[in-house]
Copies of this chain bind each other. A is one copy, B any other.
C-alpha cells in the first residue's frame, strides 16, 4: 500500500471511530491528519487535504485546542498560524480521559449523590430497587474516578508494567 492511500484510510477510519465515541467526524479527521503530519499545518493545508470549508476547519481546530490535543505553533517569519497535534499517544489518551472525566463522569457522580437521597419507604420495592441501582452505579463510578485520576498522573511505562503485573 502506498503512503497516500494509507493516509487516507487512516484518516477516514479515525473519523468513523470518532463518531462511535461522540466526537464528530471532521474533528477526528483533522486530528488524524495532524497526527501523521511530521510538520505543523495551516488551516489552508487542512482544508485542502480534507476538502472541507474554512468555517468548519476553523471551528474544529478550535475544539481540538479546547480538548488540549492540538496546539498553535508560531513560526517566525510566517504570517499564517500553524497547528500541530501531540504525537505521544499515551499523552493523548490521558488528555482525553481527563477531559471526559471532568465533562461526564464527575457531573454524573454529583447527580447520583442527589438521587441516592430519594425520599420514601425503603421497604417499598420500587424505592429499594432505585436506591440500590443508584448506589451501585455510584460505587463503581467513584472507583473508576479514582483509578482514572491515578492513570492521568502515570507514566506509560509505569502504567503498562503495573498492568502487566496484575493482568498477567
Q: Are B140 and A90 in contact (CB under 8 A)?
A: yes
Chain A residues 112-138 with CB under 8 Å of chain B are 114-115, 117-120, 125-130, 132-134, 136-137
Assembled-state Cα–Cα distance A140/B91 (Å): 11
Inside 8 A of A125's CB, which chain B residues have their CB? 38
Indicate the size class of the contact surface on chain A.
35 or more
Q: Complex: how many Å from CA A154 to CA B138?
A: 20
Interface residue from B2, B89, B134 paired with A140 (Cβ < 8 Å): B89
Q: Which of A12-20, A40-48, A53-61, A69-77 contacts B (4 or more CB under 8 A)?
A: A12-20
Which residue of B1, B104, B114, B118 contacts A20 across the interface (Cβ within 8 Å)?
Answer: B104
Q: Which residues of A contact B (CB under 8 A)?
A: 1-3, 6-7, 9-10, 13, 17, 19-22, 35-38, 87-90, 93, 100, 103-104, 108, 111, 114-115, 117-120, 125-130, 132-134, 136-137, 140, 143, 146-147, 150-151, 156, 160, 162-163, 165-167
| 4 tightest A-B CB contacts, nearest first | A150-B167, A38-B129, A6-B118, A20-B22
